[in-house]
Structure 1
Amino acid sequence: MDKNTLTGVLLMGAVILGFMWLNKPSEEEIARQRQQAEQLARQAESQATAPVLALDSISASEKSRIASTIKQFGVLDSLTGTCTLSVADATLTLSDGGAIAGYVSTPGGEVAVKDILLSDFGGMSRDNAAAAVATLRNAVASAERYKEFARHLSGTERTVRLENNLLSVDVNTRGGVISAAVLKEYDRYDSTAVDLMANGVDSYSFTLTTANQRFNTSEFFFTPVEVSDTSVTMQLALGGGATWAIRYTLPADSYVVGMEILQNNMQSVIPPSVADMEFAWHQKMARNEAGRMFEERNSALYYMFANGDVENLSEGSSDHKEVSERVKWIGYKNQFFTALLIADDYFTTAEFDSEVLENNPAYIKELDTRASVEYSSANPVPASFKFFFGPNSYPLLSDLQSELAPGQNLHLTNLIPLGWALFRWINTLIVIPVFDFLGQFIGNYGIIILLLTIFIKIILFPFTYKSYMSQARMRVLAPEIKEINDKYPGNENAMKRQQETMALYSRAGASPFSGCLPMLLQLPILVAMFNFFPSAIELRGEPFLWAKDLSAPDAIVSWSAHIPFISSTFGNHISLFCLLMTVVNIIYTRINMQNQPGGNSMPGMKWMMYLMPVMFLVFFNNYAAGLSYYYFLSLLITIVQTYIFRKVVDEDKVRAAMKENANKPRKKSGFMARLEEAQRKQQALLREQEKQRSKKRK
């Protein structure tokens, strides 16, 4: 920077400083500005704390209306003559002399009603004052809307507990409903209690219809009366002697809770023209089992019509149904537990909804019911029900029939998926009685399954032996069948080849189909067991060897990462019993192929035969360990039987017996005669067709 530039900068700075000094305010001007700022601050504060304008204040007519509302719908203290009305965020009182008092709750705190009536808000902000006035007006409006029910819009939420050795039930003053139903003998997969009516998640309510309003009981605070160890009555006292209540009763050693609607002098509240009462029930079904996939498949909303038909919403997808027929009971069924509501009379109409909660780790489904029951305000007990909160145990549900509805078949055992008619018959008449009988003497369910498997194998032994003997005869005839095939090769000799083969079977007294019937007779039992084990609550939580729970997969290897396709089909684990079943199944397949006539004459089919056990591995990996364990034992015993048959059955003797049988005169059966006649006709038809083709070629 040169000398001239520096001189210019200094001169400019001097000019600016001189200008600022000349324009500096005087002491009087500074004092005046400070005074103006303070005055503006006082005005703002005055506006903030000023009383609400008359437009927002309570008028004289409103005061009279408030007093009348308190007197009409409040609770009178006979000793002091004071009438009290508690509604939402306000508690209003009316003295014997007509003075209105009480308080309202606002975000800024409690405000005395007398201050609101006098518009005396002291240092309160305008917003809080306006909120206090609005709260008072809303409270009065609510009281006028709810009328006799208004006194129950506020209260203290608490519970009364009823319990026995099986069940603990909490009855809540809010809504007068059951807010907990804990099964004492069962835990969830995370060791918490099984609760079939969880507070804040599950709920039910009734809707009452007056002359011009509809009220839901979930809005009201009930008063517990007539409380004992086994029962409690939750009551709404509506004035003038009118009461509406719900009485709950829990007997000893029972999963059943009685629920009765009790009322007195309700004709003054609900007109006689009201002929029904609505009922709503919501449940967010909690996950109880370690095996979520199978629990989802076996959880649904069930209901039974008055004619005894039991139906259910879809287990695998969201569903909705409306029914106009009478319904006897409604059940929210989990894999092993059910919350069931049985009407002593009937639900006249019902609407059901089910939503699958796919991405919720704690809950699996959301279920809703909206139903109607017949109602009369003159009836002291207009409706009564029974709740069942308990396990899906076949013996228990069977015994409940007589307890819940004597003389009626409630078909409660249909809550347990035991398969279609034939398979259900096998389970209920054979499998379950034997299983329960063994359970009375043996505490280890792994041993019980072993004995049950042996018992079933003994029943099936004649069919298994007959099937093996059929295979033995076919193996003996295999060389002769090969000779026939070599003698009549090609499609043109197919009919002759078939005739000769059938003639051979007839002479030897053998049939290629004789081994199929015994196998088909065993199939219903296999399917019945497939339905039984995943539904047997007796296996729930029962350990055996490495399996911690025979009702869930026995995972020995698991992973958390989601693998496309594999996680959705196979799962994120490997079940050891399922793996053992697969290995034994492959061994059995190999042995069975060796037993077939021709042995390895069909190498192209080998891979298909070995593919089936692998498919079973994928399919059964997510199923109960008890089921895989049963199939493992069943296959293992079958292999042992096969080796015993090989040692016992002498195929040379079988061949000799068949030759001896061939020399005996045999009368053709009707089936064989018809078959041969059909073959002759078909052969004649083929010859005629061949002649026609020859003529055309010429």
Structure 2
Amino acid sequence: MYCIYYIILSNIEIVMETKFNKFLINILILFIIISFFFKKKSKLENFENVFLTNKLIKNEYFKKKKNKDKEVIIENNVLKLSISTIGGNIKNLFLKKYKNYHNNDENLYLIKDNSSLFGLEFTNKSCKKFNTYEVEFIPKIKEDEFKYTINMQAKLDNNVYISYVYVIYKNNNYNIDFYIRTKGFSDLLSTNLEWNQKLLRLEKDPKIENNYNQIFYSINKFKKKINFLNPKKSLHKKAKNLYWIANKQQFFVSILLFKKPLKDKKIIFFLKNENLNSINKRSNLKIKIINKNNKELNLSNKWYFGPLDYNILKKNKYGFENLIQFGGVVGKYINRYVFFYLFSILEKTNLNYGLIIILMTIIVKLIILPITYNQYKLNSIIEMFRTSFDDINHYKLTNKQSLIKLDKKILMNSILYAIIQIPIFYSLFHFFPTLINLRGKSFLWIDNLTYYDSILNFKFKIPIYGNHISLLTILYSISLLILRKINNSKYQTNNNSIYIMSIIILLFINNYSSGLYLYYLISNIINIIIYIYYKKNL
């Protein structure tokens, strides 16, 4: 904008010396030139043009220094990454403890072949621009007992340089400290900080995975409240006082945290769908920093590249654990403080994860057993009343009142049963598909408890149902059918409706997590056993 003001001001003197018509012509020409060179592109076009034209202070720098890309390779127990000497970026990064299920169990790369790019674009007071994407950085590596320190420095002139400093901690640490330092840049007008990442496909079903890919961000260091970019409302978002921003996938996340929140900075970020085989979505973050006091750039940041593991994220103390989508207002508390706590205890038994889900189901059913048993008892009593009360007029008023009281008792018990059962039912929809502990874990014929099981795949897709047959959802539908039949045999006016509903349910649930329907199947089997036991002991 300062460059535009300069052009306008430089024309004021000319304007004052001309006649009115000549003045209008000059103004018109001026605005045409400005609109041509400074025309705002659409947000999506800006999103696509991630790589800026490189204009260094000294153009001969590239003529002398145009070298091939080299990589600095560093690893600890959980991460292995390479840092490129061209641009100073993390070129490749994979997680050692996980596999990519989209590409036949290959290494799980969160960054591959520069799929994540971080760069700076500088503008000086003469409106000249240059960026760091193609600048050569010379690495210096230090190692001590706890960490590796890699100082990537791009020297542009004597006492003029840019430094990216990466600190990779040893052992089981997914955090990378990241510092940006400049020298000889105090006369800058502004700096644009940009992070662009392609969200690589990592899971079995790209369509399901894509539903979880999202940008989350935090603008409050102390409240730890997080927000997300809703693509249904807008593909971009403006924010102030950014604390951290995350490119979240179904089970993994890439986070950039600013140790000192960026106050009063112009920040905008985008999210765009991609139809490429290896990419689901692409995100872009742009931050404009105005240099008001002729200061050097000095930013302290932190990267987190790792799993959406609640216990690991909680240890960071930045509110990262809230990235795990445990559900809505009620569901997230049930999942976090009941199901996840119970699951964590059972996980210590080192049993198969399918058995852990079965044990968890049994424990939950035992906890609510008194309510379930009482519900069956009251249903049986009212069944007896309704069977014998063919004509209510034959009975005295006291019997009518007894029936009314009983109906009220049944109603209250049904409400209580629903209050407990319905939140549990819907909470589990968010629990199993987001629990990384179950990712890739097998049980019987199920190869991955976070995704649907498949006993037969089609070469075509059936609307709603999908392109496969899930045995677990068939077993669940059969158990639900049996439960409804034995529980409603006296009152079902149309027995066909039970079969129709079971078929409809089967159509809609074929693509959900197998862990979820393993829980529901065992829950139904337990309910059938309880009902049969009660009937025998009437």
Given that 2:141 and 2:148 are in contact with CA atoms closer than 8 Å, whether structure 1 keeps it comes out as: no
2:284 match: 368
RMSD between aligned alpha carbons? Answer: 2.6
Provide, for residues 518-549 of structure 1, a one-character-per-residue CA deviation record: whole Å limited to 9, x for no partner: 32121111111121000111111111100111
Secondary structure at 1:250 match in 2? strand
**Match for residue 471 of structure 2?**
576
Quote the residue 2:225 is aligned against.
309
Deviation for aligned residue 1:312: 1.8
- Aligned residue number for residue 204 of structure 1: 118
Q: 1:467 to 1:322 in 2, by over 3 A?
A: same
- Find the counterpart in structure 2 of residue 412 from structure 1: 320
SS at match of 1:147: coil
- Note the 1:447-466 alignment, pairs <5 A: 447-466=355-374
Q: Does 1:247 align with 2:165?
A: yes
Q: Which residue identity is paired with 1:352?
A: F
> What amino acid is aligned across from residue 629 of structure 1 in structure 2?
L
Distance 1:506 1:384, change over 3 A: same
- The structure 1 residue matched to 2:209, chosen from 295, 320, 337, is 295
Q: Is the 8 A contact 2:56 2:131 kept in 1?
A: no
Query: Does 2:57 match 1:147?
Result: yes
User: Using a 3 Å threshold, how does the CA distance of structure 1 residues 523 and 282 change in structure 2: closer, same or farther?
Assistant: same
Q: Which residue is 1:646 aligned to?
A: 535
Amino acid at match of 1:590: K
Whole-Å separation in 2 of the counterparts to 1:361 and 1:507: 63
Q: Alpha-carbon deviation of 1:319?
A: 4.3
The residue matched to 2:330 in structure 1 has which SS? helix
**Pairwise CA distance, 1:487:** 7.0
Q: CA deviation at 1:503?
A: 2.3
User: Which position in structure 2 is the counterpart of 1:504?
Assistant: 402
The match for 1:383 is: 299
**1:620 alignment partner AA:** I
Query: Quick one: higher RCO (CA 8 Å, sep 6+), 1 or 2?
Result: 2
Give the secondary-structure state (helix, strand or coil) at the position aligned to 2:210: helix
8 Å CA contact 1:554–1:575 kept in 2: the answer is: yes
Q: What is the distance in 2 between the residues matched to 1:373 and 1:460?
A: 57
Three-state SS of the structure 1 residue aligned to 2:96 is strand
Pairing of 1:307-456 with structure 2 (within 5 A): 308-314=224-230, 319-347=234-262, 348-357=265-274, 359-373=275-289, 382-401=298-317, 410-456=318-364
Q: Cα deviation per residue 1:565-615 (whole Å; 9 max; x = unaligned)?
A: x24x21110111111111111111112213xxxx13x423x3334333323
- 1:266 and 2:174 correspond: no
* C-alpha deviation, 1:506, in angstroms: 4.3
* 8 Å Cα contact 2:90/2:114 also seen in 1: no
For 2:287 and 2:296, the matched residues in 1 are separated by: 21
User: How far apart are the structure 2 equivalents of 1:614 and 1:360?
Assistant: 35
AA paired with 2:178?
M
- 302-311 or 284-293, which moves further after superposition? 302-311
Farther-moved stretch of structure 1 (231-240 vs 219-228): 219-228
Partner SS for 1:146 = coil
**Does the 8 Å CA contact 1:242/1:266 hold for their aligned counterparts?**
yes
The reply on whether 1:278 has 2:168 as its aligned counterpart is: no
- TM-fit CA distance, 1:412: 1.4
CA distance in 2, matches of 1:537, 1:531: 12
1:157 maps to 2:69: yes
Pairwise CA distance, 1:389: 0.5
What aligned pairs does 1:75-94 form with structure 2 within 5 A after superposition? none
Aligned residues: 472
| The structure with more radius of gyration | 1
> Is the contact made by 1:291 and 1:553 (CA closer than 8 Å) also made in structure 2?
no
**2:135 is aligned with 1:225:** no
Matches of 1:207 and 1:182 in 2, distance apart? 28
Q: 1:529 & 1:352 partners in 2: Cα distance?
A: 32
Cα separation, 2, equivalents of 1:508 and 1:154:
87
Q: Distance in 2 between matches of 1:376 and 1:385?
A: 21
Identify which of 62, 68, 91 aligns with 1:179. 91
**Structure-2 change in CA distance of 1:617 and 1:638 (3 Å):** same
> Relative to 1, partners in 2 of residues 1:242 and 1:502: Cα closer, same or farther, differing over 3 Å?
farther
Q: Which residue of 1 aligns with 2:432?
A: 533
TM-score, normalised to structure 1, is 0.64
1:370-425 CA distances to partner (integer Å, 9 max, x unpaired)?
A: 22357678656611211111011111111121xxxxxxxx3312211111121111
From the superposition, tell whether residues 508 and 167 of structure 1 become closer, same or farther in structure 2 (CA, over 3 Å): closer
Distance 2:415 2:68 in 1: 70
Distance 1:626 1:374, change over 3 A: farther
- The offset of 1:449, in angstroms, is 0.6
CA contact (8 A) 2:382 2:406 kept: no
Q: Distance in 2 between matches of 1:391 and 1:377?
A: 40
Amino acid at match of 1:612: M
Once structures 1 and 2 are overlaid, which stretch shifts more, 337-346 or 196-205? 196-205
Q: CA deviation at 1:466?
A: 2.0
Tell me, in whole angstroms, the C-alpha distance in 1 between the residues paired with 2:57 and 2:405.
96
1:235 offset after TM fit, Å?
Answer: 0.7
Name the TM-score, length of structure 2 as normaliser.
0.82
Q: Tell me whether 472-481 or 229-238 shows the greater mean CA deviation.
A: 472-481
Matched to 2:279, the amino acid is: Y
Aligned residue among 506, 526, 533 for 1:637? 526
| C-alpha separation in 2, matches of 1:360 and 1:314 | 22
Relative to structure 1, the CA distance from residue 471 to residue 223 in structure 2 (aligned partners, 3 Å threshold; closer, same or farther) is: same
Letter in 2 for 1:366: R
Matched position secondary structure for 1:322 = strand
Match of 1:166 in 2: 78
Give unpaired runs (5+ residues) of structure 1: 1-141, 402-409, 489-496, 651-698
SS of residue in 2 equivalent to 1:298:
coil
Change beyond 3 A, Cα 1:560–1:250: same
| CA contact 1:175–1:222 (8 Å) conserved in 2 | yes
Per-residue displacement from partner, 1:79-113 (whole Å, max 9, x unpaired)?
A: xxxxxxxxxxxxxxxxxxxxxxxxxxxxxxxxxxx
Alignment of 1:474-553 (within 5 A): 474-479=382-387, 481-484=389-392, 503-506=401-404, 511-520=409-418, 521-553=420-452
Q: Output one character per residue of 1:106-158: Cα deviation in whole Å (capped at 9) or x when no partner.
A: xxxxxxxxxxxxxxxxxxxxxxxxxxxxxxxxxxxx99x62257525622211
| Residues 533, 362 of structure 1: alpha-carbon distance in 2 compared, 3 angstrom cutoff | same
Offset of 1:501 from its aligned partner? 8.5
Q: Within 2, Cα distance between the matches of 1:241 and 1:558?
A: 64
Greater per-residue strand proportion: 2
Structure 2 residue matching 1:638: 3-state secondary structure: helix
- The residue number in structure 2 matching 1:133 is none
Which structure: greater helix fraction? 1
> Contact between 2:257 and 2:302, CA under 8 Å: does it hold in 1?
yes
Shift of 1:517: 1.8
Tell me the secondary structure at the aligned position of residue 611 of structure 1: helix
Distance in 2 between residues matched to 1:514 and 1:416, nearest whole Å = 35
Distance 1:196 1:376, change over 3 A: farther
Native 8 Å contact 1:555 1:575 kept in 2 = yes
Q: Contact (CA 8 Å) 1:471, 1:515: kept in 2 or not?
A: no
Q: Distance in 2 between matches of 1:310 and 1:223?
A: 37
Secondary structure of 2:423's partner? helix
Q: Confirm or deny: 8 A CA contact 2:217 2:246 kept in the other structure.
A: yes
Residue 3 of structure 1 is matched in structure 2 by: none
